[in-house]
C-alpha cells in the first residue's frame, strides 16, 4: 500500500505562525523533503523535530522526484516543505504532486501561511478578484510578453520579487502599466514588516535611492474596467460604422445581430446604428 504525501505550509517569517497539525505531521512522517535542508533544519530544531531530511528543489527535481515516488510506493510518508510558506506555489512542489496523481498516490495539504495572500489583504487594494503571476521570468522576451498582457489586466496583480531585481521590475512595470497604485510589502510577519502603498512612479523614485532588502510581494492595481471599455470604443472609432457592420455580416451574423454587436462595440444604441445605415442606403 502506498504512503502519503503531505504538503506542509511553514511560517513565512514569524515561527509562531506554524500550526499544531504541521508540527505533528513533521514529527510523524518518515521523511521531510525540503527546498533547502539547512534552512528547514533550523525550523525543525526550534520545535525539537528529528525527522530525516532530504532535499527537493528546482535543480534536482528531475532525478529526486522519482526517488520520492518510489519511497511513497514503498509505503513511507513524506512531508514536502518549502523555505517559507505553502509548497507548490512558485516552487517545484507542483511537479511532485503531478507525479503522485499519475501514480495514484494520496496527497493532502496541511494549510498555513502563504505570502501572496498575506500581502494582498494588507495592501488596501481590491481583494475581490486577483491574479497571481509569481516571479516574472528572466527571459527578456517572455518577460515583456507577460507585461503586455498585464497591461490590460483589470484584476489586482500579485508578483513576487527578489531584492536585487526590484528596481528593474518597478521601472518595467511603470513603463508597461502606467502610473498605477502599488503596495510594496516586505518582511511579512517579521519584526520589520513593511507595507508601502504608493504609486509606481513614487516606487521607482524611492528605490532609486534605497537599497532593497528582504523578499518582496508586490500588489498592483488592475486597470479600471471603464478605461478598458473606453479604449475598446476608441479602437472601433478608427473604422467607419459601415465597415464595422459589414465585418460582422461577412462573419455570418444576420443584419439584426450585426447592428446589435456594432452598437455594443461602439457604446451606442442599436437604433443609432440602424438610422445611420438607413441614411447610407438612401
- Give me the mean pLDDT over the 52-74 stretch: 96
User: Which residues are CB-neighbours of 183 under 8 A, at least 6 positions away?
Assistant: 119, 122, 123, 124, 125, 195, 196, 197, 218, 219, 220
Greater pLDDT, 231 or 43: 43
pLDDT at 206 over 60: yes
Does pLDDT of 259 surpass 80? no
> Average pLDDT over the chain, rounded to whole?
90
| H or E stretch at 155 | none
Q: What is the pLDDT of residue 282?
A: 57
Strand order in the sheet with 78-81: 52-55, 31-34, 78-81, 4-8, 106-110
Place of cell 504608493: 198
**Helix (H) / strand (E) containing 182:** strand 181-186
Mean pLDDT across 75-95: 94
Q: Which residues pair with 205 in a beta bridge?
A: none
Answer whether 227's CB lies under 8 Å from 194's CB: no
Q: Is the dihedral of CA 190, 127, 218, 146 positive or negative?
A: positive
Residues 275 and 119: their CA atoms lie apart, in Å, by 52
Whether 122 shows a pLDDT value over 60: the answer reads yes
8 Å CB contact between 150 and 175: no
The Cα 220–Cα 181 span in angstroms is 6
Under the banding of pLDDT at 50, 70 and 90, the label for residue 278 is: low
Task: State yes or no: pLDDT of 80 exceeds 90.
Answer: yes
pLDDT digits (tens, 9 = 90+) for 6-26: 999 999 999 999 999 999 999
| Beta-carbon contacts of residue 119 (< 8 Å; ≥ 6 apart) | 158, 183, 185, 188, 195, 217, 218, 219
At 228, the pLDDT band (50, 70, 90 cuts) reads low
Q: What is the pLDDT of residues 134-168, one digit of tens each?
A: 999 999 999 999 999 999 999 999 999 999 999 99
pTM here? 0.81
E strands present in 25-88? 31-34, 52-55, 78-81
Q: How far is 196 from 23, CA to CA, in rounded Å?
A: 33
Grid cell of 157 as nine digits: 496583480
Given this model, what pLDDT does residue 40 score? 97
| Cα angle: 54, vertex 57, 59; to 5 degrees | 120
Q: What is the pLDDT of residue 254?
A: 81
Amino acid at each position: 500500500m502506498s504512503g502519503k504525501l503531505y504538503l506542509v505550509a511553514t511560517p513565512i517569517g514569524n515561527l509562531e505562525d506554524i500550526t499544531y497539525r504541521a508540527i505533528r505531521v513533521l514529527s510523524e512522517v518518515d521523511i521531510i523533503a525540503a527546498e533547502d535542508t539547512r534552512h528547514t533544519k533550523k525550523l525543525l530544531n526550534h520545535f525539537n523535530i528529528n525527522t530525516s531530511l532530504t532535499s527537493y528543489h528546482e535543480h534536482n527535481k528531475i532525478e529526486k522526484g522519482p526517488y520520492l515516488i518510489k519511497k511513497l510506493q514503498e509505503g513511507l510518508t513524506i512531508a514536502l516543505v518549502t523555505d517559507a510558506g505553502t509548497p507548490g506555489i512558485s516552487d517545484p512542489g507542483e511537479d511532485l504532486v503531478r507525479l503522485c496523481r499519475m501514480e495514484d498516490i494520496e496527497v493532502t495539504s496541511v494549510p498555513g501561511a502563504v505570502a501572496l495572500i498575506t500581502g494582498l489583504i494588507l495592501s488596501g487594494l481590491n481583494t475581490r478578484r486577483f491574479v497571481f503571476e509569481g516571479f516574472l521570468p528572466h527571459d527578456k522576451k517572455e518577460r515583456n510578453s507577460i507585461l503586455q498582457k498585464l497591461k490590460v489586466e483589470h484584476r489586482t496583480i500579485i508578483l513576487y520579487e527578489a531584492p536585487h531585481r526590484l528596481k528593474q521590475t518597478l521601472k518595467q512595470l511603470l513603463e508597461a502599466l502606467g502610473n498605477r497604485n502599488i503596495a510594496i510589502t516586505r518582511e511579512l510577519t517579521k519584526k520589520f514588516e513593511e507595507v508601502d502603498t504608493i504609486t509606481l512612479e513614487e516606487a521607482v523614485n524611492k528605490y532609486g535611492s534605497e537599497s532593497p532588502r528582504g523578499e518582496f510581494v508586490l500588489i498592483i492595481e488592475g486597470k479600471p474596467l471603464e478605461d478598458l471599455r473606453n479604449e475598446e470604443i476608441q479602437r472601433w472609432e478608427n473604422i467607419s460604422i459601415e465597415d464595422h457592420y459589414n465585418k460582422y455580416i461577412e462573419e455570418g451574423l444576420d443584419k439584426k445581430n450585426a447592428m446589435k454587436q456594432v452598437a455594443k462595440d461602439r457604446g451606442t444604441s442599436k437604433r443609432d446604428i440602424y438610422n445611420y445605415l438607413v441614411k447610407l442606403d438612401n
